[in-house]
């Protein structure tokens, strides 16, 4: 029981998780307002404004920096991992989403292929650089404020 108490009272754990949760709720509400349709898949889906990936990793880095010092090795690890995650979100996963969009168009074009698909590829995999930037700023601010 002591271990669970330590986990749930650890700022480096609860701040990133709550931030992720609230950003995903924000995306569900935004999607509901824009499309006038409830899409609960947005709760766990990738992509969109702001990047919850960026917010989570930057808030974690800030929390670790505050707790262990911004000159500590553990902060350096969290900062480097945050950069890797944000690069991946705006680079590699975004490119994979673009490829999925093109493949879906090819598969939807009559006569181009005989391949039968059961479901379309997921296109919203990554983030634009501005979505990553806004998520990172949000994570930094929340990390310092909470």
Q: What is the mean pLDDT of residues 90-112?
A: 74
Q: What is the mean pLDDT of residues 137-142?
A: 95
Residue 68: its pLDDT value, please?
Answer: 96
* Whole-angstrom distance, CA of residue 53 vs CA of residue 73: 22
Residue 121: its pLDDT value, please?
Answer: 65
Beta carbons within 10 angstroms of residue 87's beta carbon:
12
Cis, peptide link before residue 50, omega less than 30° from 0: yes
- Out of 38-42, 48-52, 101-105, give the one with best mean pLDDT: 48-52
* Whole-angstrom distance, CA of residue 70 vs CA of residue 13: 18
| Residue 112 pLDDT class (50, 70, 90 cuts) | low
3-state helix, strand, coil split of the chain in percent (to 5) is: 75, 0, 25
pTM of the complete model:
0.79
Q: What is the mean pLDDT of residues 104-118?
A: 71
Q: Terminal CA-to-CA distance of the chain, rounded, Å?
A: 25
């Amino acid at each position: 029981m002591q271990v669970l108490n330590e986990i749930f009272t650890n700022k480096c754990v609860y701040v990133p998780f709550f931030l992720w949760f609230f950003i995903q709720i924000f995306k569900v509400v935004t999607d509901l307002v824009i499309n006038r349709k409830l899409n609960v898949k947005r709760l766990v889906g990738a992509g969109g404004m702001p990047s919850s990936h960026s917010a989570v990793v930057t808030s974690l880095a800030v929390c670790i920096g505050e707790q262990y010092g911004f000159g500590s090795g553990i902060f350096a690890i969290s900062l480097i991992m945050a950069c890797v995650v944000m690069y991946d979100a705006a680079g590699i996963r975004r490119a994979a989403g673009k490829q999925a969009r093109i493949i879906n168009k090819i598969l939807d074009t009559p006569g181009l292929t005989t391949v039968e698909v059961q479901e379309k590829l997921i296109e919203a995999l990554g983030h634009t650089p501005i979505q990553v930037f806004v998520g990172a700023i949000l994570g930094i601010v929340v990390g310092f404020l909470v």
